Structure 1
Amino acid sequence: MREQRRTEPVQMEMTRSFPGIFTRGRGKRRFRTASPVPARRPRPLDVAFYLLPKRCEKTPKEEEQIVHMHAGLGRRTAHLDESTTHEELCDALKVLFPKLGSVTGGWLLYKPSGGWGSRQLNLVTPSDTGYTGVMLKSLSPGCKNLYIAPFQEELSTNPLPLTDVAFSNRPKATCQKCGLAIPLPLLTEHIKSCDIMDFCSDDNLANGETSQLEERQYMQECPVCAKMIPTDIIEL
């Protein structure tokens, strides 16, 4: 009992000094306790980029788009977010367009004007930190199709082999004529010009239509079908 009487003044003094710790509030609390705010996840941002061989005043026409696709240029979609920096954007574009990795003179982004057909291209001026995810998001929804143009160079438009790294990430389908895996955007044009199997088919050889082959001075055995194929078209 004596010890209890001694501790009571001490508890009263501590309660007066620190009421928030040693007293229990009654009734409803006026202010809620602070709770940790969860980190906000960056929102995804999909932008379609079109790599041009050089600076152009207008968007390419349909026949030019086919040439660009065969050359490893053309349109591809990048999956970004708001936190993407300029350096991260450059790395992502080099994966989509391997040819862009050889550009040393810089590149700029352009957005097309409204309308149909070949449209005017307008420069997207980079900010102090370059082209970032926040900047790309600030563009109007209709400007999520951007064009990339080398600033001081010109990229080659010569067609690339179908086994080139530029087509490695493209979905492919097998051509029933030549048996090659063709990127889907190029399949229609490839089928129109693919006459290798028709030209060297067993039916044509059985019918005696070998004069066209014999007229070729340079023949080579195909490693796939083991037939003698003209050297100038054996790659196809």
Structure 2
Amino acid sequence: MTRHDPSPFANPDAVASYAVETPRKVPGLADLHRMVTLLLAEKAMGEAHMLVVGAGGGLEIKAMAEAQPDWRFTGVDPSPAMLDLARQAVSPFADRIDFVMGTVDQASAGPFDGATCLLVLHFLDRSARLQTLREIRRRLKPGATLVVAHHSPPDGDTERWMARSAAFGDRSALDWAKAKATGRMMVDRLPLLLPADEEELLREAGFIDVALFYAAFSFRGWIANTSPS
């Protein structure tokens, strides 16, 4: 699968700072992880095997593993450096986690009880997103849940929304000129889709019951299910 930005985490500095910077940049990241865990747990009570697409860094696996001691995880990511970071983050739970270097089409067939894809899809162009979502759906049990979250500005004024997110993530003195420049750069680099297009893409990939559950500046999160039969 191709990314619009083929190596967003090839920069060693970006990898080294990921665990610190990501909670600063994504509003309520810890609460987002808790919401994701709760949404998956509605249908995956007790023992369950979760597919985590874009597992590099390990933040969401760590949060879910702490909250759900009976869950197992398969984490997939194309970045070796980010997977190394994930292994460090989840070392207390290593016996419940398998990592695969690559994209979701290289993961096992499952079937999995649920899946997450957080802060990933905004790096992929539309065709790669659709392929990724279809590959996730193929690996899920009937009636299983997928949770996704990433940049998806609420309207066509994408530069303004990305600037607002950039300003939120910059914990130094507020500098709107800097935030606007960062917003423009993000719009140039990321193949952003509006929420209606995101929801249509999930349905096109074969998911049903698509619903928004998280919204914060340019970030959106959705829950969707596979068909029960």
TM-score bracket for this pair, using the shorter chain length? under 0.3
Length-normalised TM-score, structure 2 = 0.23
In terms of fraction of residues, the more helix-rich structure is: 2
In terms of fraction of residues, the more strand-rich structure is: 2
Length-normalised TM-score, structure 1 = 0.23
Greater relative contact order, per chain length (Cα 8 Å cut-off, separation 6+): 2
Larger Rg: 1
